[in-house]
Amino acid sequence: MPEAISVPVLFVSEPIVLPTMVVPIELDDAARAAVDAAQASESGKLLIAPRLDDRYPTYGVLASIVQVGRIPGGGGSAAVVRGERRAHIGTGTTGPGAALWVEVTEVIDESPAPESTLALAAEYKKLLLAMLQRREAWQIIDFVNKLTDPSQLADTAGYASYLTDVQKRELLETPDVAERLRALIDWTGDHLAETEVNDKIAEDVREGMEKTQKEFLLRQQLAAIRKELGEGEPDGSDDYRARIEAADLPEKVRQAALREVGKLERSSEQSPEGGWIRTWLDTVLELPWNVTTEDSTNLTLAREVLDADHHGLEDVKDRIVEYLAVRARRAQRGMAVVGGRGSGAVMVLAGPPGVGKTSLGESVARALGRKFVRVALGGVRDEAEIRGHRRTYVGALPGRLVRAIGEAGSMNPVVLLDEIDKVGSDYRGDPSAALLEVLDPAQNHTFRDHYLDLDLDLSDVVFLATANVIENIPSALLDRMELVQIDGYTEDDKVAIARDFLLPRQRERAALTDDEVTVTDAALRKIAADYTREPGVRQFERLLAKALRKATTKLAENADPLTIDEPDLVGYLGRPRFTPESQERTAVPGVATGLAVTGLGGDVLYIEAGSTEGESSLQLTGQLGDVMKESAQIALSYVRSHADQLGVDPTALDRKIHVHVPAGAVPKDGPSAGVTMVTALVSMATGRQVRSDVGMTGEVTLNGRVLSIGGIKQKLLAAQRAGLSTVFIPQRNEPDLDDVPAEVLEVLDVRPMTDVADIVAQALEPVEALATSAA
């Protein structure tokens, strides 16, 4: 370890001196005393240390005095010093003269430098050279390239103007070379990135100014040329005036457009306002203010168009035909034809994916003889998407509805508001609130887009909206629309849709004819029952496409026609994906089959109940919502209070009871699982299994009353798909059976019930059957 030596110390506020630096220092009396003491000493060295306000410095630099003289121009004296070694400052000591002396220990760098330090030095040198090249400091670049010692390379940062005094003091007080290099890499990298951004901004500004000056010069020359030729105004305002006079615009719109033309004439060529006005005028002139298409009044033809495009969906088809019938009758009697909104032609088609909601909009437009335009609302969170941006914003645009009208080219198109339940809201506003005006018959004849700032009559537009989950639509918005539920298709419907629509479309895509590949109805029914479990037909169509692709491959090898029958499906589609599982799931006591409604349609829900030794309690699992948790508590309370009536031993319930609703990863909520939970608890407590062909739904009270619930049609369709034969529903939901297809009611024994005890009695296996099974 180096020995400590005594040297005079010179405290300086600036500059911060690092080893290898040669800098001038202005001398006051104390500094002069230190320099004189150093010159008189045997070593000729002095310590230069930073002056700190809050503490005594730990490190300084041993320096030699290169030159002492006076500052030109009558100034004081100064010394030029060269930093040589970093030194650790010890205690003060005595020495000759008036200077302050301290003991210091030189810091010796590790030699040779480790590979990791050399790698850091190479990385720092790369950054440093990149920055110097941007400044074109070629002499300094040559100097840096010659440096091989990592410590010397790091200490050259003392000259860096982009480092603060605090950072330089940190480098001085960091004896480890690797740590200094890491800090320099971070600081230099940040500064280089900032420099690149600033240079790019400066270059963009310079190019923009040059372009503006060039455009100004060219426009002045063009104006002079036009003036000599007598060609009129160079801003095109004369052309806009002619277009406005020639266009068939409402009077208020025409006056507003002419006012904007006046502003355009008064604006300067350099003002950006001229470009904004031109864009606004182009938008106004492109809108079909007084253009409408004539509605078809042939009700028979309209019905044929709807039937040709979609199977079923009778409610929607009837509503469209009724709309046409009213308009045709008013026209025949010479009465004013009411607009689309005025006649109540705003419907929301609600149902699971794949049932044909979106494609139905195009069919409605064809049946009416109108233009069709789709407005996708999924994920829209900005109110300006509906109402448009105000013209004060850069890049302002009209809202989606105005753009849809312009795209349609008429004022009475069919506008499909797709995925209206996916509209969100954030700090930019609530788009659903803007839709309230659009869909309100008392307001939409004067809809005002923020960009146009003109009244736009939407009363003759037929609005159709689609949604998957009605609960996600704000109630005020839902109140303005006619709700049409599309709950899904029965198995017979799917077979008919596949035969009449899907199969011909996929044959055409695969370049096949009817004679080359035939798919039997039995095969189609097998696909619907065992290969898909969906309310719509989207996956059904994918499977048909897959089968036809494989058939096309076989035809390429053998030209003989193919017939795809039920036994052949394994070779085309693999083994069936879905099989009835109710019998397997309910083979043990404590499991009951319920029915639920999800965003994908109706589905089967299995509720499991079990008990273990322990203090009487209720544990619920399966990501249940608050309403479903309360249903489980109500069910347990009912079973305990009516144990004698239900044939349950009260001691069987004085245990730790666990109710689980798989699948555990799917959140669930709603009141309709109440009767299913009661049945599962009674099954668990009595040891009697629930019949495997039974499903149920309904809310239960503490007195055992079964209350009405929603989604009866969707739930019964799910029960049919799952292979159930008996379904218990609330008595109050019996009128909902009118909406259920007749073929579903033919295969299901639907039993309306008022008391959950009756459901339990009919749903559980009889005791005799259990005894026979045990024997």
Separation CA 498–CA 524 (nearest Å): 7
The CA dihedral of 73, 75, 79, 80, to the nearest 10 degrees, is -40
Q: Is the pLDDT of residue 67 over 90?
A: no
Nearest CA-CA partner of 524 in 504, 544, 507? 544
Could you give the percent of the chain with pLDDT greater than 70? 93
Tell whether 506 and 467 lie within a shared domain.
no
Establish if 385 belongs to a structural domain: yes
Q: Specify the range with the lowest mean pLDDT, choosing from 14-18, 432-436, 464-468, 525-529.
A: 432-436
CATH code of the domain in which 435 resides: 3.40.50.300
Separation CA 425–CA 434 (nearest Å): 11
Tell whether 475 and 564 lie within a shared domain.
no
Half-sphere exposure (CA, 13 Å, Cβ side) for 199? 9
Tell whether 443 and 544 lie within a shared domain.
no
Kindly state the DSSP code that residue 151 receives in the 8-state scheme: H
Establish if 474 belongs to a structural domain: yes
Establish if 173 belongs to a structural domain: no
Q: What is the mean pLDDT of the chain?
A: 83
Nearest CA-CA partner of 63 in 12, 127, 19? 19
CATH code of the domain in which 27 resides: 2.30.130.40
Chain centroid, CA 487 distance in Å = 27
Tell whether 662 and 764 lie within a shared domain.
yes
Separation CA 753–CA 258 (nearest Å): 71
Half-sphere exposure (CA, 13 Å, Cβ side) for 63? 30
Tell whether 425 and 495 lie within a shared domain.
no
Tell whether 597 and 467 lie within a shared domain.
no
Question: pLDDT tens digit string along 349-375?
Answer: 888 888 888 888 888 888 888 899 998
Alpha helices in 287-424 (DSSP H): 299-309, 314-332, 357-368, 384-387, 400-408
Q: Is the pLDDT of residue 235 over 60?
A: no
The answer to whether residues 680 and 609 touch, using CB atoms and an 8 Å cutoff, is yes
DSSP secondary structure letters along 646-715: HT--GGGGSSEEEEE-S-TTS-B--STTHHHHHHHHHHHHH-PPBPTTEEE--EE-TT-BEEP-S-HHHH
Tell whether 390 and 438 lie within a shared domain.
yes
| Of 85-94, 211-220, 230-239, highest mean pLDDT | 85-94
Separation CA 86–CA 179 (nearest Å): 15
CATH code of the domain in which 621 resides: 3.30.230.10
Tell whether 267 and 303 lie within a shared domain.
no
Residue 649, φ and ψ in degrees, nearest 5: -70, 120
Burial class (CB in 10 A: 0-12, 13-18, 19+), 106: middle
Separation CA 738–CA 222 (nearest Å): 76
Predicted local distance difference test score (pLDDT) of residue 773: 43
- The model's confidence at residue 679, banded by pLDDT at 50, 70 and 90, is very high
Could you give the percent of the chain with pLDDT greater than 90? 9
Separation CA 279–CA 756 (nearest Å): 68
Tell whether 453 and 320 lie within a shared domain.
yes
For the chain, how many structural domains are there in total? Answer: 5
Q: Is the pLDDT of residue 344 over 50?
A: no
Tokens (6 digits) for 200: 């790019």
Question: pLDDT tens digit string along 468-500?
Answer: 888 888 888 888 888 888 877 877 888 888 888
Separation CA 431–CA 378 (nearest Å): 11
Establish if 651 belongs to a structural domain: yes
* Residue 483 β-bridge partners: 348
Tell whether 550 and 639 lie within a shared domain.
no
Establish if 380 belongs to a structural domain: yes
Establish if 274 belongs to a structural domain: yes
Tell whether 505 and 647 lie within a shared domain.
no
Tell whether 697 and 648 lie within a shared domain.
yes
Mean pLDDT of 536-561: 87
Mean pLDDT of 459-464: 84
Coil/strand/helix, residue 382:
coil
Kindly state the DSSP code that residue 39 receives in the 8-state scheme: H
Which residue out of 125, 317, 371, 715 is catalytically annotated? 715
Residue appearing with tokens 């302002």: 396
Separation CA 568–CA 550 (nearest Å): 12
Show which of 422, 450, 485 is a domain's final residue.
485
Establish if 754 belongs to a structural domain: yes
Q: At residue 628, what is the residue type? A: M
Residue appearing with tokens 């496409």: 545
Coil/strand/helix, residue 391:
coil
Domain of residue 27: give its range: 5-106
Question: pLDDT tens digit string along 445-460?
Answer: 788 888 888 888 888 8
Show which of 541, 573, 605 is a domain's final residue.
573
Show which of 78, 106, 134 is a domain's final residue.
106
Nearest CA-CA partner of 723 in 538, 565, 528? 528
Burial class (CB in 10 A: 0-12, 13-18, 19+), 768: exposed
Active site residue 715: yes
Question: pLDDT tens digit string along 273-311?
Answer: 777 888 888 888 888 888 888 877 788 888 888 888 888
Which residue out of 151, 432, 672, 692 is catalytically annotated? 672
Establish if 224 belongs to a structural domain: no
CATH code of the domain in which 538 resides: 1.10.8.60
Separation CA 49–CA 710 (nearest Å): 83
Q: Specify the range with the lowest mean pLDDT, choosing from 261-270, 518-527, 541-550.
A: 261-270
Alpha helices in 105-146 (DSSP H): 115-135, 138-146
Chain centroid, CA 347 distance in Å = 27
Chain centroid, CA 35 distance in Å = 70
